[in-house]
A and B are shown apart, each in its own frame.
Chain A
Amino acid sequence: MTLQTMTYLIVGATFALYIGIAIWARAGTTKDFYVAGGGVHPISNGMATAADWMSAASFISMAGLIAFMGYGGSVFLMGWTGGYVLLAMLLAPYLRKFGKFTVPEFIGDRYYSRTARIVAVICLIVASITYVIGQMKGIGVAFSRFLEVDYDLGLSIGMGIVFIYAVMGGMKGITYTQIAQYCVLILAYTIPAIFISLNLTGNPIPQLGLGSTMAGSETFLLDKLDRMVTDLGFDQYTTNARISLLNMFMYTLSLMIGTAGLPHVIIRFFTVPKVKDARSSAGWALVFIAILYTTAPAVAAMARLNLMETMEPAEGQYLVYDERPRWFEKWEATGLLDVTDKNDDGRIRYSADPELNELTKVDNDIMVLANPEIAKLPNWVIALVAAGGLAAALSTAAGLLLAISSAISHDLLKGVFMPQITERQELLASRVAMAGAIVLAGYLGFNPPDFAAGTVALAFGLAASSIFPVLMMGIFSQRMNKEGAIAGMISGLGVTLLYVFQHKGIMFIPGTEYLGGMSENWFFGIEPNAFGAVGAIVNFAVAFAVSRITAAPPEHIQHLVEEIRVPIGAGTATGH
């Protein structure tokens, strides 16, 4: 069977499964729609959270980034997992006890303020939309590459499928579909990794293979990799820090706080039956995430090694261009891989020296997708990787769209503008809002703004500098009042936006960056992507100062905070 037929078959079968589940688990009430009726087992919820969280960025891009960054890539590994520790201990159980549907609803009630709720809705929508655009683009690229249709058609098919299962099913449909998607994506990630680890080291467990010796040799894989990259003139793989250790520290902290502040992740903990389930559910989510995240560094190092061996099969013998492998040719056609034979010897040399280097472009994103082909694995594995990448992108898109639609229908319409609407009308409004969000995200996917990469930093910066600190202070400080919370959100957000914009352009429009993107102007050498942590610190400090010079929150709010802190009397999630 050809690769093409195999891909249609596997991708088609997984999609039929997702849609079948969505129809079977159709939501009947707003509670089903927003929090799946509050009845999802913690292990199932953990699996769904893992699929929700791991997007195309985790599945497709991360290992490729680490392959070229080496040790510096650790910021993603620690940053995107350590946030769950913060969630489990500082937020999830208390927000579950509070028992409402959305993040802005908590902020509005805890800070007895509509203004606070609206500011939170704005932060949530901006953070989620910027994140969705990236997913839509990933869906478009993956469909067009593997089904060999053009990008616009690929994106349209993807939008249609997201529409069917997210709009029909709501949280209930999404939860069960995401469990299926987790299974697909984790198999698609680990199977090729096991094969490759076995080939290179003889050890089938990639996490152990990375620390083992090369098959039939006494040399450790990482030592060999270090030697090969330094021979080519790159920094040593296992020690090259990203810019500086201080920058890595702040980058990791931003990603951790951002993870714990992203609304589509937080609302997953409203769907479990009990407060104690919210604690363990965060642990299960991290177990399922860790399977991929501890495999990724092995995939990264092995892909880099395989790439270098392809480029230089024997000492000083560079790849003959006319004898290049088929995967090489296929990725050249996409423009994501490019060569220039500078000395016209018919051979392609890979080197850190820009004068000598003839492998002029290797996009990070092709490493995971091309990996099974580089390792010459069977067609069904390659087709499975395509299905896995799509599962990752679709599950995250659906979770984000749900967070957006609930913020609009529940927080803005029901909470602020039209409090008298019925449950049926609210459900309809949230479906309309979701359809609208899909169309908007799709439109931005058809016309990808140049700032797509920059906005991901903004999404994390926003979540870290605005949402996380007010949630945490709302639980841990009885004295925190609405003045402090609002001032904190606005100043944290303001500082982060100012820093990102001054180095990346106002609203990312090139040419408007008033301090330049250059690193000499960075505050203590911290890159804009890592600045969310500073924004969060500013938020905490301003909120603290302002709350001490203004009136304490009313009595009933102080009681509310005391009640949130104990599990007893939690009941199920309600919206009323």
Chain B
Amino acid sequence: MSDRREYWRRNLRLVAVCMVIWFIVSYLFGIILVEPLNNIRIGGYKLGFWFAQQGSIYTFVVLIFFYARRMNKLDREFGVQEEE
């Protein structure tokens, strides 16, 4: 049972890291810091505008697959993966 508790703690830590990134790319870069970031440009995009309309979405996709992979590894490490 203490193994399961450790598994859950590791999961929560992973979720917390992912949620912080989730927050940074959308709410922080796309909204709160949009004005200062707009002074930086990549091609024709102002950076803050790019995060709000493009970058945050790409990050979300990567984030979910990253989480899924790490969790599958964690499942095997603790032997709680599903039966094949």
Residues of A in contact with B (beta carbons under 8 Å apart): 66, 71, 73-74, 77-78, 81-82, 84-85, 88-90, 93, 207, 210-213, 220-223, 238-239, 241, 245, 248-249, 252-253, 274-276, 279-280, 282-283, 286-287, 290, 293-294, 297, 562, 565-570
A310 to B54, CA, bound (A): 27
Known: A223-B44, A276-B72, A286-B64. 4 other contacts (CB 8 A): A85-B22, A221-B44, A568-B81, A570-B82
> Interface majority SS on B: helix, strand, loop or mixed?
helix
- Most B CB within 10 A of own CB, among A84, A85, A90, A274: A85
What bracket does the count of chain B residues touching chain A fall in? 35 or more
Check if A207 sits within 8 Å of B63, measured CB to CB.
no
Check if B53 sits within 8 Å of A85, measured CB to CB.
no
B16 closest partner in A (C-beta): A89
6 A-B residue pairs with Cβ-Cβ distance under 8 Å, sorted by A, are: A77-B53, A77-B57, A81-B56, A82-B56, A85-B64, A565-B7
Interface set, chain B 49-81, CB cutoff 8 A to A: 49-50, 52-54, 56-58, 60-61, 63-65, 67-68, 71-72, 75, 78-81
How distant is A467 from chain B, measured CB to nearest CB, in Å?
20
How distant is A277 from chain B, measured CB to nearest CB, in Å?
9
A562 to B2, CA, bound (A): 12
B68 closest partner in A (C-beta): A279
B27, B63, B67: the one contacting A252 at CB < 8 Å is B27
Residues of B in contact with A (beta carbons under 8 Å apart): 4, 7-8, 11, 15, 18-19, 22, 26-27, 30-32, 34-35, 38, 42-46, 49-50, 52-54, 56-58, 60-61, 63-65, 67-68, 71-72, 75, 78-83
B4 closest partner in A (C-beta): A566
- Provided the pairs A78-B56, A89-B19, A279-B68 are in contact, do residues A239 and B50 lie with their beta carbons within 8 angstroms? no
Q: Which residues of B contact A211 (CB under 8 A)?
A: 42-45, 50
- Provided the pairs A274-B82, A275-B82, A567-B82 are in contact, do residues A283 and B4 lie with their beta carbons within 8 angstroms? no
A307 to B4, CA, bound (A): 59
A406 to B16, CA, bound (A): 34
- Provided the pairs A211-B42, A245-B31, A249-B27 are in contact, do residues A567 and B80 lie with their beta carbons within 8 angstroms? yes
Check if B63 sits within 8 Å of A213, measured CB to CB.
no
